[in-house]
Amino acid sequence: MRTNHKLYFKDSSNMCELKNDSIDLMITSPPYPMIEMWDPLFSSANYEIKKALEKEDGKKAFNLMHEDLNKVWREVGRVLKVGGIACVNIGDATRKIGKNFHLFPNHVKITHYFHSNNFTILPCILWRKPTNIPNKFLGSGMLPPNAYVTLEHEYILICRKGNTKRKIEPKSEKRYNSAFFWEERNKWFSDLWEDIRGVPQNLNNPDNQNLRNRSAAYPFELPYRLVNMFSVYGDVVLDPFWGTGTTSLAAMILARNSIGYEIDSDLIHLFKKNIREISQLNKKINRNRLNQHIEFINNYKNEDKDIKYISTYYKFPVITKQEKEILLYSVKRLTEDKNNFILDYDKFK
């Protein structure tokens, strides 16, 4: 098997390189409107945003920022296949405008856009992010009624293009090879994720702090789950706000193709560092996945529950018939050609 991963360092509001209906899955985390670290980016794109912020007109700035994001969502709607899934990790914003404290509901704005533009809105996931903040309130300390609830979660919005499910050939081998384990299904398809923490790869390193501040980076586990959940081997995954390339890394590990758009070309250097040892990382992730399944099966057996099926490729028990053909792939070779990366795979044994 071979996959291709292409990067374009340009604004994703015009993805002219991509044909209509050519993308199977979109996963991204855009700059968050009304989060102060992103004010300069939005202001540079639209001077009216800068003026609104200076005048402390938060509602106007908020609406203008989302108008800017909508240009990208419009392109996503063009390039995504009918039945393809769009996943958007977004947090709401809290900040003081003048003397008043506000919440700006980014997830509402983005959901409204997709709902109004030929997408079916599916149940979302709440990503509850662990925090080290000891205080669960803001505002007036111990005195009612003017304290504020602490915001500790983000959203993973999930939308399907059109009104029909994606069509895949009956008994498709790559679909059954791409299946997930029963226990993964129960964990991943919960509407509350509380077990994902940290920042991806090397962003903790002080040398990379500036890059972290310039990217909407999320942990590897987040796109890793979403790629597993909503695509099959050989699919094309798009990230229009590529950042440090975590979505592409997940696609590489999982033998999907990927395309990324990013305006900051400096971020490519961190991505290249992260994929130097991708073969070893891939093997580690695959081995951990299989070991976790074996541990689950052992615990399941200890409860005296019957298991009817055996994995075709790995010869361990699985709970359902749909899991029998699960097959993982290991990275054999990585070839780099400027901003294009080609990976070859073997079956993981």
How many beta carbons lie within 10 A of that of residue 237, not counting itself? 29
Residue 40, judged by CB atoms within 10 A of its CB (0-12, 13-18, 19+), counts as exposed
Query: Domain-by-domain residue ranges, the chain?
Result: 2-279, 281-328
Taking only the tens place, the pLDDT of each residue in 269-291 is 999 999 999 999 999 999 999 99
Residue 304: pLDDT band (50, 70, 90) is confident
**Residue % of the chain over a pLDDT of 70:** 91
Write the CATH number of the domain with boundaries 2-279.
3.40.50.150
Sequence length of the chain is 349
Residue type, 64: L
Non-local (6+) Cβ contacts of 5 within 8 A are 248, 251, 252, 257, 258, 259, 260, 340, 341, 342, 343
Q: How far apart are CA 28 and CA 39, in angstroms?
A: 19
Residue 84: its pLDDT value, please?
Answer: 99
Using CA atoms, how far residue 218 sits from 181, 201, 215, in Å, is 24, 10, 9
Does position 66 have pLDDT exceeding 50, yes or no? yes
Does position 111 have pLDDT exceeding 80, yes or no? yes
Does position 258 have pLDDT exceeding 70, yes or no? yes
Total-model pTM: 0.93
